[in-house]
Amino acid sequence: MKTLSSTSSIISSTYSSLPLSSPSYPPSQCCRRRRASSSIHSLPFTGRTVQLFHSRRRSSTAKNEVQHQSAEDGHGQNTDEPLPEDIKLLTAVRSIYNDIMILETAESRLLLLDSSHKIHSIFGKGGSKWTGSYWDEFASLPRIIPAGPIAIFGLGGGTAADLMLHLWPSLQIEGWEIDEILVHKSREYLGLSELENRAEAGGGGLRVRIGDALSANASVAGGYAGIIVDLFADGKVLRGLEEVKTWAEIGEKLMPKGRIMVNCGGVSSDAREELLEGNLELGWEQNNAIRAMRKAFPGAGELNWKLMPKEKGANFLALTRALPDLAAWSSALPDELSSSVYQWRICSGS
């Protein structure tokens, strides 16, 4: 059984040997990371505990792919130590935004980004779309917004879009992702192309937009009915999401009565030490992104928050506009989501 340190060193060595792919668009800060843990192989993840079950065969073709890339470009050396037998390496490549690795376990395919080894997306192989993390919470948004297109700012491997379209097949989703190489790999290994094909056939589905989600181009005529924001860099919420101006600009991309739902990450660094010492109670004030949103949406009752349970990552989430009737919202959702809506609370105070 491999420890966290040995597994991480293997992954780090693989990353160091990756060639740099050069897409035809300029660099940007917009990229996302996640964090996870496992009782077998502890991989960082900001969502839930991921059990990495045993799969007795490794993917020799995936290993050869990485070795071939390394030899061809002369970047570093591959380690002779293989990945644990219950983890298969499907692909590994470097873009100008991310070091991209997709692993496979018996139950899931996992998208890891950068040397932090954090899980960015989960694609279940057994048919279930539920992740037990904040991605599931995003699927509750369509029941409390007007009819119209929904944007995901920070599409990644498409985990949230996959669940939303499973529950609500008629949705029209636009997924904004800046890393074109990441999109290509997600199409190949994480089922993204299937979601896109549904949109091409007409009706509901996913349309992928390559570009900076915080640019003026990330908009549609008439506005989005809902916007999901899931943007991270270097393991933290994108710095721009801690600025009031950013949220004002995102709010302008909504149609009337549209809403924004956000993964705001964890507590801010300046509050973490006091929280650990027990000097503060966990509240929305300890999250920088929510503090910025509170100033951008200052009306009474116009911003709401919730804190995911520790076993699901302890992420803060935010939701704009007046809190809907929770009983009605709950009754419109599947059982997996019906009780969690009662955890939403109004951001009161300054």
HEC secondary structure over 230-275: CCEECCEECHHHHCHHHHHHHHCCEEEEEEEEEEEECCCHHHHHHH
Contact 87, 104 (CB under 8 A): yes
Let me know whether 187 and 216 are in one domain.
yes
On whether residue 39 sits in a domain, the answer given is yes
Let me know whether 106 and 226 are in one domain.
no
- Antiparallel, parallel or unpaired: β 224-229 and 254-265: parallel
Contact 20, 98 (CB under 8 A): no
Residues 81 and 331: their CA atoms lie apart, in Å, by 51
3-class secondary structure, 113? strand
Residue 1's Cβ-count burial label (10 Å; 0-12, 13-18, 19+) is exposed
Per residue in 168-201, pLDDT (tens digit) is 999 999 999 999 999 999 999 999 999 999 888 7
> Residue 328 pLDDT more than 90?
yes
Let me know whether 179 and 316 are in one domain.
yes
Let me know whether 113 and 180 are in one domain.
no
On whether residue 161 sits in a domain, the answer given is yes
Number of structural domains the chain divides into: 2
Residue ending a domain, choose from 73, 95, 124: 124
Per residue in 269-283, pLDDT (tens digit) is 666 555 555 555 678
On whether residue 291 sits in a domain, the answer given is yes
3-class secondary structure, 153? strand
Let me know whether 105 and 139 are in one domain.
no
Let me know whether 156 and 284 are in one domain.
yes
Residue ending a domain, choose from 124, 147, 163: 124
Under the banding of pLDDT at 50, 70 and 90, the label for residue 231 is very high
- Residue 142 sits in a domain whose CATH number is 3.40.50.150
Claim: this prediction has a pTM higher than 0.75: yes
pLDDT at 13: 53
On whether residue 21 sits in a domain, the answer given is yes
Let me know whether 105 and 143 are in one domain.
no
Residues 61 and 8: their CA atoms lie apart, in Å, by 21
> Residue 312 pLDDT more than 90?
no
Let me know whether 83 and 149 are in one domain.
no
Its domain, for residue 300, covers 134-346
Under the banding of pLDDT at 50, 70 and 90, the label for residue 43 is very low
Average pLDDT, the chain: 78
